[in-house]
Structure 1
Amino acid sequence: MKNYKSLKDLTNKVVLITGASGGLGEQIAYQVAKKGAIVVACARRKEKLDVVVENCQNLSKRLAYAYQLDISKPEEVEKVVNEVEEEVGPVSVLINNAGFGLMEDFLDFDMDRAEAMFRVNVLGLMYATKYVATKMAERQVGAIINIASMAGKMATPKSTVYSATKFAVLGFSNALRLELKPLGISVMTVNPGPIRTEFFDKADKTHNYLNSLGNIVLDPEEVAYKIVSKIGTSRREVNLPYYMEVAHHLYEVFPHMADYLTGGIFNKK
């Protein structure tokens, strides 16, 4: 029986990526293309997807595909997954990258935006996972990568709703991993700290957050390389940067000190 370890070689494997029109999703698409994968890039912005797909084809020397998708709409998710399976081929790897955040105090937060964030970051991810994993289970092979966040491990001021969505992704992924492993399907979560992408154009209204962090901001290409290098392994999590993983362990051991640091001198929002 094949299982996820056979996916270490991505040659001609179909890799479906949500939120692939820019930022980390775009860089992940390029990394899997370099490994000879058939890239299926999904996002709302079709014109940007077309550029990503063209770049992927140049890197992989294989066909790549763009599917316009609003991940917050379950009927669209099901339709796209079925079309990909019929028109491109069986999905071997699903990378749930679509998501957004807003850095605002909770008392001022628009709850319509909170619901929208849950529909994209959590429910959209769950629908995509269900529709793809059901087909993977029939084949007894597959890999699912859920892009969560260090905000799902260490909540900070002005990240209340975003952190809640990423805590949900982590809880979902940890249980799903146990359910799908006997079916030959791996589930890995990725918990990056701040990445220099357009994510913060929407999340940070001040446009000062990334600059205030200095050299600790992650490069999306490097993050994408590390994620893709773990496909086909039994790795449960990828936590970046390393010092934040250490900080998370300290956060659990010394919670009162952690509250003081994350809510005070380390709070850059």
Structure 2
Amino acid sequence: MINDRLNGKNVVITGASSGIGAKIAVLCAQSGANVILLARSWDKLQTLKQEIEENYPVSVWIYKLDIANTDEIQRIFAQITAEVPSIDVLVNNAGFGIFETVEEAKIEHAKAMFETNVIGLIGCTKMVLPGMKARKQGHIINIASIAGKIATPKSSIYSATKHAVLGFTNALRLEVAEDGIFVTAVNPGPIETNFFNIADQTGSYVKNVRKIMLSSDQVAGAVVKRMLSRTREINLPRWMNAGDVLFTLFPKTFERLGKKAIFKK
């Protein structure tokens, strides 16, 4: 899958060492984009950098970053700005979840999810906006979740972080509408990645939803295909749009009819 709009562009990807982030990085390189890869796992970043450079004639920069650390975000992005001519696309992909009831949930887990999924995402966005505004072009892509639209039991805190991401994304889109900057929210359902190693340590949720799980290739392909285009949202799989509409218009009916499905955790 080649996106000609990306040829020669520079794409920053957080959470790039594995899963969707790594797949997006490879597809961007296939399209001729230079990639700036950020993650906590330095060894995995080095391996991915080598793989991309061996297969595609593009530049690859890697930086070790924990986006829950706002001071570190400022330091790393200052370094990126000094080393990379410009940032054309930012993919805010880093994030995690833990499936627990509110009663079971630990406050430190809630803080960690908000610091990574929300504050870190905002921090990275703030670092690229001035350059994009100055050039009157750019694209910010925030990986949210269908959980940000349809909350389910045992994902109360995770859903809250993704609701926050969607609210931030929708407001940002309006703020930069006159600056030539595109802003896209990506709302996937469950994906076959190591996300569930933390979120679903019992394995019961993955077992229950395996038949409808997306592959990281599907999600990455949909994201890269729409880079540098005016796309408001990417909702995957598409049939989940119907569930979102039903939930918005008839929440009580949705909860009553979908009770069996939403209690799969």
Q: Same fold (TM over 0.5)?
A: yes
Question: Where do 1:1-269 residues align within 5 Å?
Answer: 9-269=5-265
Question: 1:253 offset after TM fit, Å?
Answer: 1.6
Once residues 135 and 157 of structure 1 are traced to their aligned partners in structure 2, the CA distance between those partners, rounded to angstroms, is 41
Question: For residues 83-131 of structure 1, what are the alpha-carbon distances to aligned partners after superposition, in whole Å with 9 as ceiling and x for unaligned?
Answer: 1121122111000000000001111100111011100000000000001
- Distance in 2 (CA, whole Å) between partners of 1:137 and 1:60 is 30
Task: Give secondary structure in 2 for the equivalent of 1:16.
Answer: strand
Instruction: Output the CA distance in 2 between the equivalents of 1:161 and 1:233.
Output: 32
Q: 1:178 to 1:208 in 2, by over 3 A?
A: same
1:262 Cα deviation (Å)?
Answer: 4.3
Whole-Å separation in 2 of the counterparts to 1:201 and 1:207: 8
Whole-Å separation in 2 of the counterparts to 1:67 and 1:89: 16
Separation (CA, whole Å) in 2 of partners of 1:77 and 1:232: 24
C-alpha separation between the residues in 2 aligned to 1:8 and 1:160?
40
| Offset, 1:208 | 2.6
The one-letter code matched in structure 1 to 2:197 is D
2:89–2:228 contact (8 Å) kept in structure 1? no
1:60 Cα shift? 2.5
**Gap runs ≥5 in structure 2:** none
SS in 1 for 2:239: helix
CA apart distance, 1:70: 0.8
Q: Percent identity?
A: 43
SS of equivalent residue, structure 2 residue 154 = coil
Report the 3-state secondary structure (helix = DSSP H, G, I; strand = E; otherwise coil) of the residue aligned with 2:151: coil
Measure how far apart 1:157 and its partner are: 0.2
Greater shift in the superposed pair: 161-170 or 178-187: 178-187
* AA in 2 matched with 1:27: K
Give the deviation of 1:267 after TM superposition: 2.1
Return the offset for 1:263: 3.7
Q: Deviations over 1:205-243 (max 9, x none)?
A: 211322211321001011101111011211100000011
Matches of 1:73 and 1:57, distance apart in 2: 29
Structure-1-length-normalised TM-score: 0.95
- 2:89 partner SS: strand
How many aligned positions are there? 263
Quote how far apart the aligned CAs of 1:8 are: 5.7
Q: Note if contact 2:153-2:262 (Cα within 8 Å) is conserved in structure 1.
A: no
Moved over 4 A (4+): none
Gaps of 5+ in 1: 1-6
Distance 1:230 1:58 in 2: 26
Shift of 1:193: 0.2
Q: What is the letter of the counterpart of residue 118 of structure 2?
A: V
RMSD (Å) for aligned C-alpha atoms = 1.3
